[in-house]
Amino acid sequence: MKIKCLFIVREPTDEIPELIAAWDEYSIDEHPEGWKEDCDQALETITKHYPVGITSRFITIDVSDSEIIAAMKAPTIPGKVERND
């Protein structure tokens, strides 16, 4: 699965990009206007607080379906139950 991400960097202070929007390829295919609106709204919100010095980039991340499925499984936590009968 490909995940399209919109990152920003607030210059000159930030060196680490901030993720402000992310959608998977299937959601974008089904609702491209929603993706555009989400990105536009996120950028608008950021630029209200930081009117200058914002650099934005779209980056596509490819994640295997098995990794996503594994991440959604409930964790197994080993434990010991003691009974006080």
Strand order in 2-10's β-sheet?
Answer: 18-24, 2-10, 54-62
Write the DSSP assignment of 35-58 as a string of letters.
HHHHHHHHHHHHHHH--S-EEEEE
pTM reported for the whole predicted model: 0.75
63-81: pLDDT as tens digits: 999 998 998 998 888 888 8
The domain of 47 spans 2-64
Number of domains observed in the structure of the chain = 1
6-55: pLDDT as tens digits: 999 988 776 789 999 999 999 999 999 999 999 999 999 998 888 778 88
Residue 36 lies in a domain: yes
